[in-house]
């Protein structure tokens, strides 16, 4: 017996998957009692050179041709984007095929209806690789944490930007150089704007907020800021302050509801997340029974991501469809939380300005002049959004080059 697979997409992740299927074929045969065979692959450009194609595979650029094979058991989608991926997956589910996908754009934007469709058709829809690449976060949340109450999730879920920030601060690379290398290494999205503007991390936060708190959010619902404004000078300054800047997603449950955000944050170097470098991701989970736990590992790249896809393929082949369904609850969405902030002021005036600042001293914890970068760092106390805006407006009215980073504790 054979499990027949149709693969959509043969880029970084698709090629990684073919490597892992080949490398693990004996294990798969032993575990499932049958082989997994990739019958056909849908790509966009038939002219591209492809290595190590499976024997007798149909390589096509026509979805119409792709649908003609009625033997397919599982469709694996590793192409990306929202359309036509949504239509491909709908076709698969409506025709009784289980789906495995790495597509966070699609699962964030249309996950609810696709999950409902999969449920209705009694087939699988697995998307482990859509969040944090090789880290098994979806399986852990749906399985291991099923009986725990999760209070918050936070961390680093974009490998490209974490890689860029690491290289910019460790090797002094500029932004373009770091992005180009991240693309060459296969970490970045087809349109890297999604990575650097925080959209990719926001899609992942939407998927997690749905899974854990049953919220159906869209990108317009919460603050999203990427790393495009993070200057190498800021990275050098925060190093002098014994800290790091990291792109952090945060989902917090408070008495007033659940807040979600994606923003560059200042982290003190002894924070666990500060040591997460390069394409690694990490997710801190705070829950009733475990208190704090951390999942860490590579969040992007061919083999880590393909490993997550392959794990989903195996559970799907065994018809162990993960109940990766939103939890039911009474959670409300809330806009902002109270946070401390770090402001970085680029100034030639140094300590003179330090004493002249018109800002409300009651809200300021302390300030540090960093002579090497000619930057003044102003640390606030924990302040509300309203107080924060007042401080920021006052700073901006008398200074140019004001950068702000919430402090992640």
Ligand X SMILES: N[C@@H](CC=O)C(=O)O
Ligand Y SMILES: NC(=O)C1=CN([C@@H]2O[C@H](COP(=O)(O)OP(=O)(O)OC[C@H]3O[C@@H](n4cnc5c(N)ncnc54)[C@H](OP(=O)(O)O)[C@@H]3O)[C@@H](O)[C@H]2O)C=CC1
- Provide the binding-site residues for ligand X, judged by CB under 6 A: 133, 158-160, 187-189, 195, 200, 299-300
Closest CA to 243 of 161, 327, 344: 344
Interface residues for ligand Y in 103-142 (CB under 6 A)?
103-104, 129, 133
In the bound complex, what is the minimum distance in angstroms from residue 192's beta carbon to ligand X? 8
Q: Which is nearer to ligand X, 189 or 404 (CB)?
A: 189
In the bound complex, what is the minimum distance in angstroms from residue 362's beta carbon to ligand Y? 45
* b/e code 167-205 from CB counts within 10 Å (16+ = b): bbbeeebebeebbebbeebbbbbeebebbbbbbbbbbbb
CA atoms in the 13 A half-sphere facing the CB of 301 = 16
45 binds, among ligand X, ligand Y, none (CB under 5 to 8 A by kind): ligand Y
Checking DSSP bridges between strand 35-42 and strand 58-60, what pairing results, if any? Answer: parallel
42 binds, among ligand Y, ligand X, none (CB under 5 to 8 A by kind): ligand Y
Q: Which is nearer to ligand Y, 129 or 137 (CB)?
A: 129
Q: Which is nearer to ligand Y, 79 or 407 (CB)?
A: 79
Q: Are 383 and 340 in contact (CB under 8 A)?
A: yes
Tokens representing 356? 């002249």
Residue nearest ligand X (C-beta atom): 160
In the bound complex, what is the minimum distance in angstroms from residue 64's beta carbon to ligand Y? 12
User: What is the side-by-side strand order in the sheet with 98-101?
Assistant: 58-60, 35-42, 2-8, 74-77, 98-101, 125-126
Judged on CB neighbours under 10 Å (0-12, 13-18, 19+), 352 is exposed
Does 305 help bind ligand Y (rule: CB under 6 A)? Answer: yes
Query: Which of 86, 171, 193, 204 is labelled catalytic?
Result: 204
195 binds, among ligand X, ligand Y, none (CB under 5 to 8 A by kind): ligand X
Q: Which residues pair with 100 in a beta bridge?
A: 76, 126
Does 14 help bind ligand Y (rule: CB under 6 A)? Answer: yes
The label of the residue with tokens 């040591």 reads 275
Does 311 help bind ligand Y (rule: CB under 6 A)? Answer: no
In the bound complex, what is the minimum distance in angstroms from residue 398's beta carbon to ligand Y? 43
322 binds, among ligand Y, ligand X, none (CB under 5 to 8 A by kind): none
Q: Among this protein's residues, is 119 annotated catalytic?
A: no
Tokens representing 206? 């939407």
**CA–CA separation, 163 vs 301, rounded Å?**
11
160 binds, among ligand Y, ligand X, none (CB under 5 to 8 A by kind): ligand X
End-to-end CA distance of the chain: 53
Stretch that binds ligand Y, among 23-31, 39-47, 139-147, 261-269 (CB under 6 A): 39-47
In the bound complex, what is the minimum distance in angstroms from residue 262's beta carbon to ligand X? 12
Stretch that binds ligand Y, among 146-154, 186-194, 207-215, 242-250 (CB under 6 A): 186-194
25 binds, among ligand X, ligand Y, none (CB under 5 to 8 A by kind): none
**Helix runs in 24-158, H state only:** 25-32, 63-66, 85-94, 104-121, 137-142
Q: Which residues of this chain interact with ligand Y, rule CB under 6 A? A: 9-14, 42-45, 48, 78-80, 84, 102-104, 129, 133, 186-187, 189-190, 300-301, 305
Residues that are catalytic? 204
């Amino acid at each position: 017996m054979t499990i027949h697979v149709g693969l959509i997409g043969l880029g970084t992740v698709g090629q990684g998957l073919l490597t892992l299927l080949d490398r693990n074929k004996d294990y798969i045969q032993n575990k499932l009692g049958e082989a997994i065979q990739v019958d056909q692959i849908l790509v966009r450009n038939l002219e591209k050179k492809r290595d190590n194609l499976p024997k007798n595979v149909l390589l096509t650029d026509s979805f119409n041709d792709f649908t003609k094979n009625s033997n397919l058991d599982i469709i694996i989608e590793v192409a990306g984007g929202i359309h036509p991926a949504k239509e491909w997956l709908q076709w698969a589910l409506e025709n009784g095929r289980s789906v495995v996908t790495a597509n966070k754009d699609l699962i964030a934007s249309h996950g609810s209806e696709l999950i409902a469709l999969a449920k209705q058709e009694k087939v699988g829809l697995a998307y482990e690789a859509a969040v944090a690449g090789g880290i098994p976060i979806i399986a852990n949340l749906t399985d291991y944490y099923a009986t725990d109450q999760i209070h918050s999730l936070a961390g680093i879920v974009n490998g490209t930007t974490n890689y860029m920030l690491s290289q910019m601060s460790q090797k002094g690379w500029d932004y373009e150089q770091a992005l180009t290398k991240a693309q060459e290494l296969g970490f970045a999205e087809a349109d890297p704007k999604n990575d650097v503007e925080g959209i990719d991390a926001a899609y992942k936060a939407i998927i997690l907020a749905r899974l854990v708190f049953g919220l159906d959010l869209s990108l317009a619902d919460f603050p999203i800021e990427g790393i495009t404004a993070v200057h190498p000078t800021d990275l050098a300054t925060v190093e002098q302050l014994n800290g790091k800047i990291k792109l952090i997603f945060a989902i917090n449950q408070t008495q007033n509801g659940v807040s979600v955000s994606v923003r560059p944050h200042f982290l003190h170097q002894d924070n666990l997340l500060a040591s997460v470098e390069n394409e690694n991701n990490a997710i801190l989970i705070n829950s009733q029974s475990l208190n704090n736990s951390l999942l860490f590992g590579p969040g992007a790249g061919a083999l880590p991501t393909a490993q997550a896809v392959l794990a989903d393929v195996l559970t799907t082949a065994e018809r162990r469809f993960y109940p990766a369904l939103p939890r039911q609850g009474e959670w409300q969405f809330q806009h902002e939380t109270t946070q401390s902030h770090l402001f970085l002021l680029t100034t030639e005036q140094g300590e003179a300005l330090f004493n002249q600042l018109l800002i409300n001293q009651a809200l300021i914890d302390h300030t540090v002049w960093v002579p090497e970068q000619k930057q003044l760092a102003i640390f606030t106390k924990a302040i509300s959004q309203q107080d924060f805006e007042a401080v920021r407006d006052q700073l901006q009215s008398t200074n140019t080059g004001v950068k702000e980073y919430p402090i992640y504790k």
